[in-house]
Structure 1
Amino acid sequence: MSAAGLVIIGSGPAGVAAAEAFREHDADAPVRIMTEDPDPPYERPPLSKEYLRGTTDDVALHPADWFAERSIELHRGTVTELDVTDHAILLGDDRMAYDALVLATGAAPRPLLVPGGERALSLRSLTDARRLREAATGAKTAVVIGAGFIGCEAAASLAMRGITVHLVAPDTLPQEKRLGSDAGHRITDLVTATGVRYVGNTSVREIGSHSVLLDDERTIEADLVLAATGVTPNSDLARAAGLRVENSLIVVDGHMRTSADDVYAAGDIALAHNADAGRAIAVEHWQDAADQGEVAGARAAGRTVSWSGAPGFWSDIGDATLKYSAWGDGYEHSRIVDHDDGFTVWYERDGVLVGVLTHNADDDYDLGGRLIVEGGPAPTPVR
């Protein structure tokens, strides 16, 4: 590899994992991470939990000297264009050459398109988390919009700070469409156990200075509002450069290679082929982003590796930990099994296990992950 080396756009888990994996296989070529984030690389999962609760300020992904020890350079700036023909990125009028390029630009919070939507805070970056935590310091009431895992985590964390929190979502139960009613009831119990009030079957019509108006004409007092309403992949650079993009995701093979030579993509922006699934899968999980980044970095260094394993993640709602592993493209049947202090939900399609959700059932989670990859049935009948 020439002096141009590896350039990575994005300092999240995929980007940093790509840099680390590349350096493990190539000790000499330059490695540069381009980022717009003002903070050194950090862990995102604690932002909606321990950090928001005020129980930790340490969210650094690595110690300060970790990057210097590995000769990984961090550059702050905005990449304005990709020149995949001449192997360069453009930062305004400046050009930076690359031998290999990894796109790990992640995703951005989806704006809340209602009157007053600009008043709602978001929670994606450490900058967002600081703003939210500062707002929570003087707040007595809060509304969290969206009952995905981030919304549930953040609502619980705010309630644990003594704030009166309403969690507003269009579903009767949190994540009912994705995980089913049995799981939705259990998640509701975990959320409300922290003091959160769940408000389902409605949407936000308008956000005022200290209140939220719902579609059903109810008004909820809110000193702060958090919109946890999903994200949009940051794939505009790739699309403008002519890379293959489908539904805002960059299409890559199992080695994270895009349609352009020596260009890879990983994380929230990637539609990646999974070797065990035998098809392309989109994921938005921290660990999977890191796994994909590791593949991209190793492949850029000349190693033959591919992405495999069933995607999964953990979520902490208050003091309760949920673990979920699934291919993520739906199921036909589900069955919940209650335990003394937890539960397991098994998900099947065509008689094959495609997902598992657990609370205090680590053995089931580990077994489920293996069965999902093996393509076997659930250990208990699912009908």
Structure 2
Amino acid sequence: MRRREGRLRDGGSGPAVSGVLIVGAGLAAVRTTEQLRRNGFDGPITVVGAEDHPPYDRPPLSKQMLRGEIHDVALKPAEFYGQHQITLRLGVPALGIDAAAHTVALADGETLGYDQLVIATGLVPQRIAAFEDLDGSYVLRSLDDCAALRSHAASARRAVVIGAGFIGCEVAASLRGLGVQVVLVEPQAAPLAGVLGDQAGALIARLHRDEGVDVRTGVTVDAVAGGEAVESVTLSDGSVIEADLVVVGIGSRPATEWLRSSGIDVADGVVCDAVGRTSAPDVWAIGDVACWRAADGAQVRVEHWSNVAEQAKILVAAMLDLDSAPSPGVPYFWSDQYDVKIQCLGHPRAGDTVHLVEDDCRRFVAYYERDGVLVAVVAAGVPEKIRTARAGIAAGVAISEVLQPA
């Protein structure tokens, strides 16, 4: 790591002590701090977060946390940060970067200096303006969002979940578990069709319908009715759904607005090379906000929990100029819906040829083929199929080698 002289405040007008500054206080920040300390970096580390909460795990928010089964999603115990000499600056958003001066401006008026800066600001949920001022309408991204939604769900009778991506499907499943009637609305042909394709999406729709969810696909929301609170939602097919709870899960965008005047390249996230280095000197990006260059030259942004740990190893190895850096592994993600864990290994695309090799009307296994090669496996409730497929996907084996003879 190229070291710069630590800059101290000069009469109260200069930036604070330099070191590694991480903007964003989530999983990506924690994994980066772990790798820095594990690899011998002993300089100052400061983590800046817009929320008041210490870094916490987001996946449980739409599942166990929403259902009230767990109440603590902290990624690390409080003493971890003191033991590893990591300073948390919470409840204070970053407003901008001066890349030439190596400083970050905070919303409380302070300016922090850095030797190396890691952007880890994650995502911002997309919203529907018509719902913004109505009680009973929620997005789910933060711990506070989850607490508010859980409180409302305790007395709700009928919910409309708009968007059948991972968050929408998981929220629908959790609300059904709480006894709420749910209508799941998705403009595509099936839930998760944009990620897993129509065929696997139809199987996920079947799972939800078997659990009593009213799945409406190929429709959008036209209007919402209500005085101060949500009363009904009108769909593009003219149907009107009574509801006292609406959850908007129509996706998220990278949290990059604060970088507009920084000069850092941004296009569907912060543009990075293959190790997380941005267009600005000594500035890196990791996690959901980061668009890394893949082996084929494409810029890829991956929004999966397991991806962050691998990126942290690669980024820190490059930052510290270590002799060897790990290679990216096979992407993996999962989604818990009801009693079924839906797991995906590899890079599925909606246009892939899908081979459904197992299906018992609830659990299934699908192989994804592209140009004659196995590129992904999606397994719902059949974890052993994921474990055995990793080597084949990594090696790019022919689909004929993994399909059983008819």
- Which of 42, 47, 53 in structure 1 is aligned with 2:61? 47
Does 2:286 match 1:270? no
CA contact (8 A) 2:356 2:364 kept: yes
Does 2:104 match 1:89? yes
Q: CA deviation at 1:177?
A: 4.1
**C-alpha separation in 2, matches of 1:282 and 1:328:** 14
Q: How many residues align?
A: 380
Q: CA deviation at 1:306?
A: 5.1
CA contact (8 A) 1:254 1:306 kept: no
Does 2:34 match 1:20? yes
**CA RMSD, aligned part only?**
2.1
Residue matched to 2:217: 200
Q: Read off the aligned partner of 2:356 and give its amino acid letter.
A: I
**SS in structure 1 at match of 2:139:** coil
Q: Deviations over 1:151-201 (max 9, x none)?
A: 111001001101111111112321234323331222012222332211122
- Which of 318, 327, 330 in structure 2 is aligned with 1:310? 330
**C-alpha separation in 1, matches of 2:195 and 2:38:** 38
Does 2:331 match 1:301? no
Residue matched to 2:311: 292
Residue matched to 1:102: 118
Q: Which runs of 5+ in 2 are unaligned?
A: 7-17
Does 2:376 match 1:355? yes
Residue matched to 1:67: 81
Residue matched to 1:244: 265
CA contact (8 A) 1:167 1:196 kept: yes
Q: Which runs of 5+ in 1 are unaligned?
A: none
Q: CA deviation at 1:253?
A: 1.5
User: Taking structure 1 as reference, are residues 212 and 43 closer, same or farther at Cα in structure 2, changes over 3 Å only?
Assistant: same
User: What is the 5 A alignment of 1:74-153?
Assistant: 74-76=88-90, 77-92=92-107, 93-113=109-129, 115-119=130-134, 120-153=137-170
**C-alpha separation in 2, matches of 1:157 and 1:148:** 14
State the TM-score, normalized to the length of structure 2: 0.88
Percent sequence identity over aligned pairs: 36
Does 2:153 match 1:159? no
Between 1 and 2, higher relative CO (CA 8 Å, sep ≥ 6) is seen in: 1
**C-alpha separation in 2, matches of 1:361 and 1:344:** 7
Does 2:187 match 1:170? yes
**C-alpha separation in 1, matches of 2:84 and 2:194:** 45
Q: CA deviation at 1:381?
A: 7.5
Q: CA deviation at 1:35?
A: 0.4
Q: CA deviation at 1:328?
A: 5.0
**C-alpha separation in 2, matches of 1:221 and 1:298:** 54
Q: CA deviation at 1:320?
A: 0.7
Q: CA deviation at 1:24?
A: 1.4
User: Taking structure 1 as reference, are residues 64 and 148 closer, same or farther at Cα in structure 2, changes over 3 Å only?
Assistant: same
Q: Read off the aligned partner of 1:205 and give its amino acid letter.
A: D
Residue matched to 2:391: 370
Residue matched to 1:31: 45
**C-alpha separation in 2, matches of 1:31 and 1:298:** 16
Q: Which has the larger radius of gyration?
A: 2
Residue matched to 1:380: 403
